[in-house]
Amino acid sequence: MASYKISIKRSAAKELEKIALPDRKRIVEKIRDLASDPRPPGCKKLSGQEKYRLRQGNYRILYQIHDDELIIMVVKIGHRRDVYG
C-alpha cells in the first residue's frame, strides 16, 4: 500500500502550537502514523461531513482523506470541548 502525504492546514498548525508539549508530541505521532494507515482503529467518520476524527487523550484531530491523490489534510486540532464547534 502506498504511503499518504500529510498536509496540515495553517490554522491547525497554530492550534497544535498552543497545546502543551507532552500532549503535542503524542498528537504529532498520531498524525505521522496516518501516512501509513489513514483509517486506523478508533477513527470515526463524522456524520454529514467528509472528515474523520482521531482521538488522542482529551484532544481530537479532524482530517480529510483524498484517496485519489494519496493526501491526508489535517484541518483542525483541539480540545474535545472546542473542536466540533
The domains located in the chain, with CATH, are 5-79 (3.30.2310.20)
pTM of the model: 0.93
Q: CB 27: neighbour CB atoms within 10 A?
A: 21
Q: Tens-digit pLDDT profile for the chain (85 aa)? A: 679 999 999 999 999 999 999 999 999 999 999 999 999 999 999 999 999 999 999 999 999 999 999 999 999 999 999 998 7
In order, the DSSP letters of 16-62 are: HHTS-HHHHHHHHHHHHHTTT-SS-TT-EEPTTSS-EEEEETTEEEE
